[in-house]
Amino acid sequence: KDMEKGTYPHYMIKEIDEQPAVIRRLLQNYTGKDGKLATDTAIAEALNAADRLYIVACGTSYHAGLVGKHLLEKIAGIPTEVHISSEFSYNMPLLSKKPLFIFISQSGETADSRAVLVKVKKLGYPTLTMTNVEGSTLYREADYKMLLYAGPEIAVASTKAYTAMIAVFSVMAATLATAKGLTLGFDPVHEMSLAALAMEQMIDEKAQLQEIARDYLSITRNAFYIGRGLDYYVCMEAALKLKEVSYIQAEGFAGGELKHGTIALIEDGTPVLAFATQEAVNDHIRGNVQEVAARGAHTCVISMKDVTDRPGDSIILPKVHEYFTPLVCAVPLQLIAYYAALQNECDVDKPRNLAKSVTVE
């Protein structure tokens, strides 16, 4: 087992480090002879035939689905909903005329997600599974399949599968846009390669994330992540990762929503970490940071070079296309959680009460 970890002390850090390579391999596997990103023709046709996409998933995969919705709607112009499997199963929303169901599951074995798959298949709707495990239950039972090519993920807290899922959604969105005759206005392979490079740079500079964990999270029981738009979805995953591995109570909030209640929790020294990578909402998220700072919060801003960065920001990410910021943000959010877990002397690869794949509803 130690052999597989090589020189790494934990699987989690090994899997964080593997992400740029995973994205590059995935891009290769989804690039056609013409050098363009593409899914199988049958998948492109199924996507194009749908009037609405329903993404169904749990945990980190659900958070990847939220980013996926943004990409599918913005890039391919298809209405997309994202649902938590265990909710969808027993509280099905009204469906469109021609839905396509997309199941996202690292393991391909999650019982909550399978329960939905079984139900919608019975209703006769088309299904697609995005998974890391070829031959898994959700892989076998869906009409269409897309693999993550992330390699085995051993640490219970999901890292490389999350970024691989976002990358596969990008492939899906680009393929659908092409099938619909839309012009993308950017080269997704080029932009995602730049994102992989930026991820690599963040990994090389991991010492600064260790400092953030030390400065912000070493003597706290709670922490907040805030962001807007894509950054909000990133914050949800950041909070989950921190909770899972360090046991610090954390929540991810839409920046503007804080003042509608949660700001009551801000005390002197409460850590509030903001992701600010989206130019269109930069002024607004900065305003939210000031609101909490004025109430004593210990604020940390993670921004993007030449797009949203301002003097005093704690971490400045390399510049990437606005759609692909979640790929880059994933690295600091995972590393902050990892180092916070080490500080708290937690079993980072096997957090208490959690299982890698949950096969009961």
Considering only the stretches 65-73, 105-113, 168-176, 230-238, report the one whose residues sit in contact with ligand G6P under the rule CB under 6 A: 105-113
- Let me know if 356 is a catalytic residue: yes
Among 107, 159, 175, 299, which residue interacts with ligand G6P (rule: CB under 6 A)? 107
Q: Which stretch binds ligand G6P (CB under 6 A): 69-77, 150-158, 166-174, 175-183?
A: 150-158
Q: Which is nearer to ligand G6P, 150 or 331 (CB)?
A: 150
Q: Given the complex with ligand G6P, which of 158 and 288 has the nearer CB atom?
A: 158
Q: Are 232 and 265 in contact (CB under 8 A)?
A: no
**Among 19, 158, 288, 325, interactor with ligand G6P by CB under 6 A:** 158
Q: For ligand G6P, which is the closer residue by CB, 113 or 270?
A: 113
Q: Minimum distance from CB of 107 to ligand G6P (Å)?
A: 3
In terms of Cβ atoms closer than 10 Å to its own Cβ (0-12, 13-18, 19+), residue 267 is exposed
Residues in the chain, overall count: 361
Closest CA to 165 of 127, 204, 197, 128: 128
Q: Could you give the CA distance from residue 16 to residue 14 in angstroms, rounded to a whole number?
A: 5
Q: Give burial (CB, 10 Å; 0-12/13-18/19+) of 187.
A: middle
- Given candidates 106, 277, 303, 308, which one binds ligand G6P under the rule CB under 6 A? 106
The alpha carbon of 294 is separated from its chain's Cα centroid by a whole number of angstroms, namely: 30
Q: Which stretch binds ligand G6P (CB under 6 A): 30-38, 153-161, 171-179, 183-191?
A: 153-161
| Rounded distance between C-alpha atoms, residue 41 and residue 76, angstroms | 16
CB 303 within 8 A of CB 208: no
Q: For residues 267 and 240, give the distance between their C-alpha atoms in angstroms, rounded to a whole number.
A: 22
- Contact between 324 and 197 under an 8 Å Cβ cutoff? The reply is no
**Closest distance of CB 112 from ligand G6P, Å:** 8
281-340 residues near ligand G6P, rule: CB under 6 A: none
Closest to ligand G6P by CB, 116 or 176 = 116
Q: Does 354 bind ligand G6P (CB under 6 A)?
A: yes
Tally of CB atoms within 10 A around 280: 10
Residue in 36, 206, 305, 356 annotated catalytic: 356
252 - beta bridge partners? 225
The rounded distance, in Å, linking the Cα atoms of 320 and 297 is: 29
Cα(218)–Cα(154) distance, integer angstroms: 26
- Helix-strand-coil split of the chain, %, nearest 5: 50, 15, 35
Site for ligand G6P contains 113 (CB under 6 A): yes
Q: Which of 39, 80, 89, 105 touches ligand G6P (CB under 6 A)?
A: 105
Task: Compute the least distance from the CB of residue 85 to ligand G6P, in Å.
Answer: 8
Q: Does 12 bind ligand G6P (CB under 6 A)?
A: no
Instruction: Please pick, from the candidates 47, 156, 335, 348, the single residue that binds ligand G6P as defined by CB under 6 A.
Output: 156
- How far apart are CB 239 and ligand G6P at their closest, in Å? 13
As measured in angstroms, the least distance from the Cβ of 88 to ligand G6P is 13
Query: What is the closest distance, in whole angstroms, from the C-beta atom of residue 109 to ligand G6P in the complex?
Result: 6
User: Can residue 21 be called a binding residue for ligand G6P (CB under 6 A)?
Assistant: no
User: What residues numbered 44-103 form the site for ligand G6P, per CB under 6 A?
Assistant: 58-61
Beta strands in 1-111 (DSSP E): 52-57, 80-84, 99-105
Angle between the 41-49 and 160-179 helix axes, to the nearest 10 degrees? 70
Question: What's the alpha-carbon Rg for the chain, to the nearest Å?
Answer: 20
- Give the residues across from 18 on adjacent strands: none
Of 110, 159, 278, 308, the residue at the interface with ligand G6P (CB under 6 A) is 110
Smallest gap from Cβ 158 to ligand G6P, in A, equals 4
Stretch that binds ligand G6P, among 10-18, 104-112, 203-211, 326-334 (CB under 6 A): 104-112
Positions touching ligand G6P (CB under 6 A) are 58-61, 105-107, 110, 113, 156-158, 354, 356-358
Point out the residues that are catalytic. 356
